[in-house]
Structures are given as C-alpha cells and as structure tokens.
Amino acid sequence: MTERPADPLSLWNTQSPRLHLGTQRFTTSDEDLEFLARHGVTSMAVNRMPVHRDIGWDAQLLGSQREKAAGYGVDLEMVALPIASLNEAGGSIPAYMLGDFSAGEREIDVVQKMVRAAGDAGITSIKYYLCEMENQRTESHPPGRGNTRYSTFDLSKADAETPRFDQPLTAEQNWERVTFFLDGLFRLPPRPRCGWPVTPVIHGCHRASRASTGFSGDLMDFSSS
Amino acid sequence: MAESVRNPAQEVPQILRYFGERKKIHLIHFRNIFGGQCDFQEVWPDEGVMDMYVLMKTLRDVGYPHMVVPDHAPASAAPGSREQSFAFQFGYIRAMLQAVESVAGGS
C-alpha cells in the first residue's frame, strides 16, 4: 500500500498557523450562508450531498456548491461520506459493518468514486462516521444555564440490555469491519498534485473515543495504526 | 475526545499536542464538558472543566491548519434557540482565535 504523507498539502505551520473557524451544521442555502458570513465563519463541512449509486457524488454539483459558498466568503472544505446511505438493500448500516464484505466491496467502490469527485471539485477533506451503535445519551437533569438542555451520558443509567444487532458483535469483529472499510478506502491511488485526493477525517468510535484506559493506552495505539 | 478521558482538563491538552505534533488532527469539535469518561454533560464552551484558551493555544502552537467548529449546541425551547446557540459559539471561537493570535503576536 502507498505510504500516505501526514501533510500532503504542507498546511501545518507553527510560525504562521492557519487554524480557522468553521462549522459542520449548516447547508449551502442562501439563508445559511448569510448566517455564517454574518458571524465570521469562513469554512464549512457539508453533511448531506445527493448520492448516486452509479457515480457516487456529482463532481460538478460539488464544485458548484463550493463556488456558491465561496461567494459568501465560506470555503466548503469538507464533505461527510453518506455512510447511512451506502447499503444497497436500503438499511442505514453499511453491508461491510454487518459483515457482508462482498456487498461491502461495492460500497467501497462507490465511496472511492465520491473521494475522487471531492478531489475533482477541489474539496480537500472528507469525514466519516463509523460508529454503528448510536451515541447513546441519558436524561439531562437538571437543566443547564438559562434552561438549556445539555447532551448527557451517565454510564450507570445507560441502556446496555437492548440488542442493536441480530447477532452479538464482539469488539474484534467490529474492528475487523472498520479495518476492511479503511483498507478499501486507502487502495485509492494518490494523485500528483496533492499526493492524495482528499484527507480522510475519522469521526467517532475510533480507538480514542472508546479509550477505557486513558490517554496512555488506546490513544497511543491508535496513533501508530 | 474530552468525554473519553478521566481528567479532561489535564489530558486533552496533552492529547492535542501528541497528535498535533504528528499532524494527525483534521477537525476540532471545540466544546466543553462537565465530568469526564462515562459520566459527562456537553455544556457551553465557557463553563466546563477545560480551559478552552489552553486548548486553542495548543492548537496554534502545533501549527494546526484546519477548522475549529462548534459541536452540539445546547438547546432550549426558546424561539431561535439553535441559531442563538451557534451564534454564541461562533463568537466564542472567533474571540478565542483572536486572543491566541494577539498574545502570540505580542510575545
């Protein structure tokens, strides 16, 4: 497998850092883009782009959305993979996460097309969410500041009894399926211009987020994998 | 990330530095929490257990080049709650970005 450079676009710079305000919760509607521009938001990730089973994403559509956002001073720099739309049978969980690697290969093929489309549209990052179990939350009590509701999790009150899958899933099986997807994704060859079409950004349910031994354990393992 | 560790105030800056020095961070959900691993609440950025200035400064120090985004916005039944929450968080993050830049420029 081709070695992936950590910073193919040479963006990291301690002398002139480029960190900036962004969002992942808005769309490219005029109303949303005006709202973002009004509040000084200069970058965005878009979570929902139309998906075509044969071509994945439409690169022209991605490009036009990026241009539209740019017209408001917002860089559409990231798109979320539609993980919940990959299963040909219509379920919200991809076949590879259910252990069907044959159908999973076809899902990966579609994802590779999406990655290429993003690269062609000049979108430098994609993100993906591989946690097939929900981010479980428990009751939020008491209310937060100004009677707001805080997203809350208390393990002692969590539902550990309700089955999420037809068959019990071990951690090893889960990681095997995640690895299958990532290995397939990274079969995509690099491109000369930037070394890699896009930067894959993992979100949720990686080893770091299940760390049960604290910083010195799982996080270190993840960083070397 | 903060909800994955026992002592977010102490551990998260170390985590950011560890992964940042290896250029392994591509997106930051900039939000604070009460509590820690297995028992936490996602709260407004200015009231949790972590010093958000320290986190932003760490990101700057390692040369992090990507987005810093609000995560879940605390919700309420008030009209326009979602937009208000995001406006607050956008302003908070922008102010924090300007603060670390200002301090770095003066040092």
Q: How confident is residue B42, by pLDDT bands cut at 50, 70 and 90?
A: very high
How confident is the model at residue A201, as a pLDDT? 60
ipTM over 0.85: yes
Average pLDDT over residues B91-107: 92
Q: What is the reported pLDDT for B70? A: 96
- CA–CA separation, A33 and A74 (whole Å): 8
Tell me the torsion sign for CA atoms A48, B64, A124, A77: positive
The C-alpha atoms of residue A176 and residue A219 are separated, in whole angstroms, by: 18
- Are the C-beta atoms of A218 and A143 separated by less than 8 Å? no
pLDDT at A10: 84
> Testing the interface with A: which of B22, B29, B41 to mutate, by most A Cβ within 10 A?
B41
Q: Is the backbone peptide bond immediately before A142 cis, with ω within 30 degrees of 0?
A: yes
Q: Which residues of chain A have pLDDT under 70?
A: 1-4, 132, 188-225
Q: What are the b/e assignments for A134-155, b being 16+ CB within 10 Å?
A: eeebbebeeebeeebbbbbbbe
Question: Nearest by CB to A155, which of B39, B65, B90?
Answer: B39
Find the DSSP H helices in A44-194. 59-70, 101-120, 171-185
b/e per residue A170-194 (b: at least 16 CB within 10 A): eeeebeebbebbbebbbebeeeeee
CB < 8 Å from B in window 58-117 of A: 77-78
Using pLDDT thresholds of 50, 70 and 90, give the confidence band for residue B105. Answer: confident
pLDDT score recorded for residue A169: 82
Residues A79/A123, Cβ–Cβ less than 8 Å: yes
Per the document, the length of chain B is: 107
Q: Which residues of B are less than 8 Å from A125 in CB distance?
A: 26-27, 66
Out of A24, A152, A199, name the one closest to residue B26 (CB): A199
Residues of B in contact with A152 (CB under 8 A): 40-42
Residue B23 has pLDDT above 90, yes or no: yes
CB contact under 8 A, A14 and B47: no
pLDDT of residue B1: 82
Q: Does residue A144 belong to the interface with chain B, where contact is any CB pair within 8 Å?
A: yes
- Contact call for A144 and B73, based on CB within 8 A: no
CA angle centred on A92, ends A63 and A182, rounded to 5° = 65
Which of A145, A149, A199 lies nearest to residue B75, judging by beta carbons? A149
What pLDDT is stored for residue B107 in this prediction? 58
A74 to chain B, minimum CA–CA distance in Å?
A: 12
- Give the model's pLDDT for residue A141: 82
Read off the DSSP letter of residue A215.
I
Residue A205 near chain B (CB below 8 Å): no
Closest of B45, B77, B46 to residue A148, by C-alpha: B77
Alpha carbon distance A151, A48 (integer Å): 23
Q: How far apart are CA B69 and CA A43, in angstroms?
A: 9
Chain A CB contacts of B1 under 8 Å are: 208-209
Do the strands B28-29 and B39-43 form a parallel or antiparallel pair, or are they unpaired? unpaired
Question: How much is the pLDDT for A36?
Answer: 98
- Asked whether A104 and A150 are in contact (CB, 8 A), the reply is no
**Contacting A residues, span 33-62, partner chain B, CB-CB under 8 Å:** 35, 39-41, 43-45
Residue of B nearest to A7 (CA): B23
Domains along the sequence of chain A with CATH: 22-131+170-223 (3.20.20.150)
Main-chain dihedrals φ then ψ at residue A21, nearest 5 degrees: -75, 135
B83 vs A35, A150, A155: nearest CB? A35
Q: Which residue on chain A is closest to B82 by alpha carbon?
A: A25
Contact: B18, A13; criterion CB under 8 Å: no
Q: Whole-angstrom Cα distance, residue A29 to residue A158?
A: 37
User: Average per-residue pLDDT in chain B?
Assistant: 94
pTM of the model: 0.86
